[in-house]
């Protein structure tokens, strides 16, 4: 059996068999799920006592929108978005809808609801259905004249959609892209730190327990280093897999818990009939699916795994090098880690920029440069990235991995046998450069 494989096997098993691994692997998804359920609960629940300003430029709906206990519609004179925004900022209204001149309520038309706060799905549905009901009434009244055909009757069904916007942000699937990119970026950011530190601690353990010299009399140092990196990477992958399965599994369970959640929300909301319940749920699911479809989740997941592995391999080699240079004192690690943690933190900063401006120069550079691409690319992906950029970015990442691994293995082979001397990066560079 190949020695590197034997090392991978030990590194993997020794971690997977720990109680803490089992605990974190199972508890975390439960925690995430709980968090998730809470978010859904709040987003479904919607706000109470909404005051919606309607700037009706057509005069079509004037006075025809029924206010309920929780949503009150007020028709106002201001038509200018800036003026309306001031009203929002003054907390006079929760949100506003402009009904532009020329709007006739044809099926497929849409209106924009702008609010300073996040708009729950339930709130959105309620406003939308109120609008549609009002429009249907108008249509029906128009047709109260004799001689209606069936086709005409059908056309009374109003099917406008309400788009939701948080003031100053893009709407619809961009919101979803934003969230997805941000979550993926943060995940990779966290992975680099968590698993990188795990590699570093593993190397430090070998060095301080003096097993390193025994090991390198059996295997080459790079085999030891690679074995550790790949073994821990496999632990990470398995952990993610379990998390994925658990989260998806729990989501399957969601409908079981969901109806109560929804009922609760409905009771709170008051006037939505139970019959509407199902169709509304369907609406939401449809919307989420549509967003997912727009963004191509499969491709993003595949690239997420690639960038997760790539970023991990790139950085963990450097973490291993630092681990090899540290003596008994973990304090030493802090200062040595700085040159590694800085690019990760910078990548995170670039990512927050890229998420708002995915095609900006900084975002493109950040998503190509191997030290930052695993994090920054995540932010850009949901918005769509040209294939050549992804290919170039991955190619550069592979070259980067080869480069850092080569450099790290040279530092590592000297470092793990070096005791007593406090090393700095200048010293490490010397180790790397010497033959």
Residues 327, 130: Cα–Cα separation, whole Å? 69
Nearer to another protein, 7 or 314 (CB): 7
Least distance from C-beta 260 to another protein, angstroms?
A: 46
Nearer to another protein, 18 or 264 (CB): 18
Binding mask 291-320 for another protein (x = CB under 8 A): ------------------------------
Residues 89, 82: Cα–Cα separation, whole Å? 10
Binding mask 212-251 for another protein (x = CB under 8 A): xxxxxxxxx-------------------------------
Across 106-134, b (16+ Cβ under 10 Å) vs e yields eeeeebebbbeeebbbbbbbbbbbbbbeb
Cβ partners under 8 Å of residue 391, min gap 6: none
Token pair for 186: 């943060």
DSSP H stretches of helix in 157-220: 173-208, 211-216
Candidates 6, 60, 87, 292: give the one binding another protein (CB under 8 A): 6
Candidates 70, 392, 417, 425: give the one binding another protein (CB under 8 A): 417
Binding mask 269-288 for another protein (x = CB under 8 A): --------------------
Nearer to another protein, 142 or 430 (CB): 430
Candidates 211, 241, 305, 399: give the one binding another protein (CB under 8 A): 211
Candidates 49, 361, 420, 426: give the one binding another protein (CB under 8 A): 420
Least distance from C-beta 3 to another protein, angstroms?
A: 6
Nearer to another protein, 118 or 218 (CB): 218
Least distance from C-beta 216 to another protein, angstroms?
A: 5
Applying CB under 8 A, which part among 146-154, 165-173, 193-201, 206-214 lies near another protein? 206-214
Query: Residue 69's CB: how many other CB atoms inside 10 A?
Result: 10
Contact indicator for 163, 119 with CB cutoff of 8 Å: no
Residue 19 is a binding residue for another protein (CB under 8 A) = no
Residue 1 is a binding residue for another protein (CB under 8 A) = yes
Least distance from C-beta 214 to another protein, angstroms?
A: 5
Applying CB under 8 A, which part among 31-39, 58-66, 358-366, 419-427 lies near another protein? 419-427
Residue 209 is a binding residue for another protein (CB under 8 A) = yes
Residue 210 is a binding residue for another protein (CB under 8 A) = yes
Residues 359, 376: Cα–Cα separation, whole Å? 11
Token pair for 394: 């991955």
Residues 106, 120: Cα–Cα separation, whole Å? 25
φ/ψ bin of 172: left (φ > 0), alpha (ψ from -120 to 50), beta (otherwise): left
Across 279-294, b (16+ Cβ under 10 Å) vs e yields ebbebbeebeeebeee
DSSP H stretches of helix in 358-422: 361-368, 373-380, 387-415
- Give the interface with another protein as residue ranges (CB under 8 A): 1, 3, 6-7, 10, 14, 205-206, 209-220, 417-421
């Amino acid at each position: 059996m190949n020695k590197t494989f034997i090392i991978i096997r030990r590194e993997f098993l020794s971690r997977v068999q720990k109680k803490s691994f089992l605990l974190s692997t199972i508890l975390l998804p439960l925690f995430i799920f709980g968090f998730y359920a809470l978010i859904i609960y709040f987003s479904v629940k919607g706000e109470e006592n909404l005051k919606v300003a309607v700037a009706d430029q057509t005069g079509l709906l004037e006075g025809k929108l029924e206010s309920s206990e929780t949503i009150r519609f007020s028709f106002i004179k201001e038509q200018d978005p800036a003026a309306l925004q001031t009203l929002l900022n003054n907390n006079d209204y929760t949100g506003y809808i402009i009904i532009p001149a020329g709007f006739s309520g044809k099926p497929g038309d849409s209106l924009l609801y702008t609010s300073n706060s996040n708009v729950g799905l339930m709130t959105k549905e309620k406003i939308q259905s109120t609008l549609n009901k009002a429009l249907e009434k108008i249509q029906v009244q128009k047709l109260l004249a004799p001689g209606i055909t069936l086709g005409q009757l059908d056309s009374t069904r109003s099917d406008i959609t309400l788009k939701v916007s948080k003031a100053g942000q893009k709407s619809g699937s961009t919101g979803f892209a934003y969230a997805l990119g941000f979550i993926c970026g943060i995940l990779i950011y966290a992975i680099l730190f968590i698993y990188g530190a795990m590699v570093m601690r593993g190397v430090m353990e070998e060095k301080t327990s003096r097993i390193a010299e025994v090991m390198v009399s059996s295997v080459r140092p790079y085999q030891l280093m690679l074995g550790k990196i790949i073994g821990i990477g496999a632990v990470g992958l398995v952990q993610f897999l379990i998390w994925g399965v658990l989260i998806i599994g729990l989501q399957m369970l969601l409908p079981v818990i969901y109806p109560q959640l929804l009922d609760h929300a409905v009771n709170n909301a008051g006037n939505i009939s139970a019959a509407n319940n199902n169709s509304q749920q369907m609406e939401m699911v449809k919307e989420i699916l549509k967003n997912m479809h727009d963004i191509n989740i499969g491709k993003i997941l595949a690239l997420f795994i690639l960038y997760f592995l790539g970023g991990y391999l790139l950085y963990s080699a450097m973490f291993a090098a630092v681990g090899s240079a540290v003596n008994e004192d973990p304090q030493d690690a802090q200062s040595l880690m700085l040159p590694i943690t800085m690019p990760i933190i910078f990548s995170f900063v670039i990512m927050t920029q890229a998420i708002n401006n995915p095609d900006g120069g900084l975002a493109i550079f950040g998503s190509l440069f191997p030290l930052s691409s695993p994090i920054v690319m995540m932010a850009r992906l949901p918005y769509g990235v040209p294939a050549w950029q992804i290919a170039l970015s991955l190619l550069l990442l592979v070259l980067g991995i080869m480069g850092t691994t080569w450099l790290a293995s040279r530092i590592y082979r000297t470092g793990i046998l070096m005791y007593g001397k406090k090393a700095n990066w200048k010293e490490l560079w010397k180790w790397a450069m010497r033959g």
